Amino acid sequence: MQVTLQVRRFNPEAPRAQPYEQEFTLDVPGYFTVLDTLIKVREEMDPTLTLRCSCRASICGSCAMRVNGHAKLVCKTKLTSVMDAQGKVRVAPVGNMPVVKDLVVDMKPFWDKVRGVDPWLQPQGPEPKDEYLAPNEAMVHLTGVMMCIMCGACVSDCTVLEVDSNFLGPAALAKAYRFVGDPRDGAAKGRLGKLSEYGGIWDCTRCYECVQVCPKGVAPMERIMALRDKAIVAGFDKAIGARHTIAFGEIVGHSGRLDELRLVPKTFGMFNPLHLPNLLGMIPVGLRALRRRKLPPIRHKSIPGVENVRRIFKKVEAGQ
């Protein structure tokens, strides 16, 4: 079958180094992956094409790239699954990391963030005679997160990292969960405190992109949500995100639906001078909503059958 690869190229040594697109049209067998095709281009058409790969079996995590705009491991991406009607596939380096050459990026920002969550066990108490043991059932919930192969696909497509490089990002936060959730780790409280600061768990916008692109089913966003729960339970409930979550639950648990007029002051705190600018910043939003007749009703009413909602909340709080 014939395929056209449109590859984003970048040569830092070129006189006016700028990224550009180059097309390669070639015949390949129907079973080829995107990686097979890139290697064929490099071997038969352009030996300067630069890419990174190793195991070719979706284990090493080296070959993450953007295919048609989304990060994928190209060794496990069949051409036929991504070709458009004209037989074209767009390939570019992963995002949110500086490009070294063509499809190769510098993973330093990725590793710096992983290092930032202290990704090692910190047991406390007396050292055991033989080794630190944990019961199987206490470790089962960590098996998914342990599947991470550090490919960077989630970091590439994280919508928050695109605008705020201070955010720890999905891979590092999933790694943090791996240690917070380990019964042998004695530093969970300190970790949760640090993760509740700016750039941590409350900065995720829950866009779901990292869950979508992760080739190993790690579901980083789900781990971030689990860390949020653990942080609130551990008493780290002062971050705006934590306050918003608690206020949301209180309002819905009381009336069965959200009262947006109360949500904002409850989140920021009416008399907290620290959050006064945030509170004032919501006034234009309120005015716009008023102009478009979308302002929530001043008098908030409970939904019919609200007792059932309250019962559900009570059960959840009691952990039933």
Per DSSP, what are the bridge partners of residue 73? 64
- The answer to the question of residue 171 lying near ligand SF4 (CB under 6 A) is yes
Interaction between residue 168 and ligand SF4 (CB under 6 A): no
241 in contact with ligand SF4 (CB under 6 A): no
State which of residues 41, 160, 180, 192 lies at the interface with ligand SF4 (CB under 6 A).
160
Burial of 253 (0-12, 13-18, 19+ CB in 10 A): middle
Cα–Cα distance, 153 to 60 (Å, whole number): 13
Q: How many CB atoms lie within 10 A of CB 167?
A: 23
Kindly state the smallest distance separating residue 298's Cβ from ligand SF4, in Å: 34
Query: Which residues have C-beta within 8 Å of that of residue 305, sequence separation ≥ 6?
Result: 256
How many residues at the interface with ligand SF4, by CB under 6 A? Answer: 26
49 binds ligand SF4 (CB under 6 A): no
Residue number, 3 or 97, with CB nearest to ligand SF4: 97
**Is 204 a residue that touches ligand SF4 (CB under 6 A)?**
yes
DSSP line for 206-219: ---HHHHH-TT---
Which residues lie across from 8 on neighbouring strands?
21
59 binds ligand SF4 (CB under 6 A): no
Q: Which residue has the tokens 């590439």?
A: 156
Q: How far is the CB of 94 from ligand SF4 (least distance, A)?
A: 10
Q: Angle at Cα 242 formed by Cα 240 and Cα 246, nearest 5°? A: 115
Shortest Å distance, C-beta 111 to ligand SF4:
11
Nearest C-alpha neighbor of 141 from the set 203, 210, 211, 219: 219
- Binding ligand SF4 (rule: CB under 6 A), the pick from 210, 226, 239, 247 is 210
Residue number with CB closer to ligand SF4 (7 or 224): 224
Report if residue 166 touches ligand SF4, rule: CB under 6 A: no
Window 172-191: contact mask with ligand SF4 (x via CB under 6 A): --x-----------------
Q: Residue 71 or 83: which CB sits closer to ligand SF4?
A: 71
Tell me how far CA of residue 199 lies from CA of 71, 81, 98, 224, 278, in angstroms: 23, 36, 20, 12, 18
Contact range with ligand SF4 by CB under 6 A, out of 6-14, 90-98, 211-219, 267-275: 211-219
Measured CA to CA in angstroms, residue 107 lies from 50, 98, 114, 145 at distances of 15, 8, 11, 20
> Is 103:52 a contact under the CB 8 Å cutoff?
yes
Q: In angstroms, give the least distance from the CB of 253 to ligand SF4.
A: 25
Per CB under 6 A, the list member of 89, 91, 107, 153 interacting with ligand SF4 is 153
What are the angstrom distances between the C-alpha of 204 and each of 9, 155, 194? 31, 12, 15
* DSSP assignment letter at 285: H
- The least distance separating ligand SF4 from the CB of residue 180, rounded to whole angstroms, comes to 16
Examine residue 195 and tell whether it contacts ligand SF4 (CB under 6 A).
no
Which one of residues 93, 95, 200, 220 is an interface residue with ligand SF4 (CB under 6 A)?
220
How near is the Cβ of 274 to ligand SF4 at its closest, in Å? Answer: 25
For ligand SF4, which residue of 35, 41, 99, 148 counts as binding (CB under 6 A)?
148
d(CA 299, CA 290): 15
Q: Which residues bind ligand SF4 (CB under 6 A)?
A: 148-154, 158-160, 170-171, 174, 204-210, 214, 216, 218, 220-221, 224
